[in-house]
Copies of this chain bind each other. A is one copy, B any other.
Amino acid sequence: MHKILVIHGPNLNLLGSREIDVYGTTTIEEINADLKRLAKAKKTRLKIVQSDHEGEIVELIGKAKGKFDAILINPAAYTHTSVAIRDAISAVDVPAVEVHLSNIYGREEFRHTSLIAPVARGQIAGFGKMSYALGLEAALHVIKKKG
């Protein structure tokens, strides 16, 4: 059975009420429910964490080695500012898939650059909660190729 660590970055707990024109009305609970359903079907165990703290996310990733087969991460705001999360992903030998709800390339200039993308296996952006579902499939695909 595969184990995947799912990390929701800062402010994602506010989904559903937050900037509905950008993010829609989906809540983090719905995303998590969807992910769990899909994981069950794929016989995969998930650990899901939301954190507003860069340091906490760094710690989570740092401890993932040997415990998880892949990381599914929406780094949210930290996508554009966190070298620490980037370094954490480089440091552990666990493949990471980066997902975004919105199409970050259609938003403000500073959101077009991801510090995480160069060290992730791949990136999925713009499909709302479906980004997570696709990301989970991608993560499983990456695990299989490696296994």
Contact = CB atoms under 8 A, between A and B. Distances in A.
Contacts of A11: 58, 62, 84, 87-88, 91
A51 B91 CA distance: 15
Contacts of A90: 18-19
B110 A120 contact: no
B130 A110 contact: no
A31 interface: no
A134 B126 contact: no
A49 interface: no
Interface in A130-147: 130-131, 134, 137-138, 141-142, 145
A25 interface: no
